[in-house]
Structure 1
């Protein structure tokens, strides 16, 4: 099971949030609560610490998207921590969502914190951006 459903990069053996910064560069952002050995060169923007690196310096760069079902309904899992999953409801049964205690509404969407042991049909789709970048350079 993945910890975050989003773009990530591995740089010098450590994992960061990531995003494309151009053709050959990626910004990496420290994951809150993580202590990093390679902490030099990061700039602070509010509570975020970012750094731009060349793609060829990365150990990995990918996007992972986790989906699952809970009580028979589809969810996009955003993050997993301590056996709990932050998830967005991906179904269209708004009465069901309200009856099952999800936070939100039909206009802005529903979210929930769910016990990981209650998730079924967990799937993680991974897109390898680093392999794609290398292929396009080759």
Structure 2
């Protein structure tokens, strides 16, 4: 199971949110509530601490997307913490979603906080951006 279902980077042994910035750089953003040892050079933008680093300086850069079923219906798991999964409903049964206490509507989507122990068919698909970048930029 993955903790975050979005683009991430490992830089100097620590984990950050990430995103590509041009061909040779990635921005990294501190995770809320995490105390970092390496925090030089970060700038604050609207309460988010960001820094741009060279791709070759990263230890890892990837995205893990997790899917699961809950009560027989498909969900995209966004994050997992303390035994709870924040998830977006990926099915089209809007009556079922409302009957099962999901928040939202058919136009903006449904979401829920689910017990991890109730998830079934959990699958994590990892895309390694750093390996792809190294293939395109040898040496």
Shift of residue 117 of structure 1? 0.3
Partner of 1:76: 76
Structure 2 Cα separation of the partners of residues 42 and 115 of structure 1 = 35
Partner of 1:9: 9
Unaligned runs of at least 5 residues, structure 2: none
Across the aligned residues of Structure 1 and Structure 2, the Cα RMSD in angstroms comes to 0.4
Shift of residue 83 of structure 1? 0.3
Structure 2 Cα separation of the partners of residues 47 and 120 of structure 1 = 36
How many equivalent residue pairs?
Answer: 138
Q: Which runs of 4+ in 1 moved over 4 A?
A: none
TM-score normalized by the length of structure 1: 0.99
Partner of 1:57: 57
Structure 2 Cα separation of the partners of residues 37 and 2 of structure 1 = 23
Shift of residue 46 of structure 1? 1.3
Shift of residue 111 of structure 1? 0.3
SS in 2 for 1:31: coil
SS in 2 for 1:131: helix
Partner of 2:106: 106
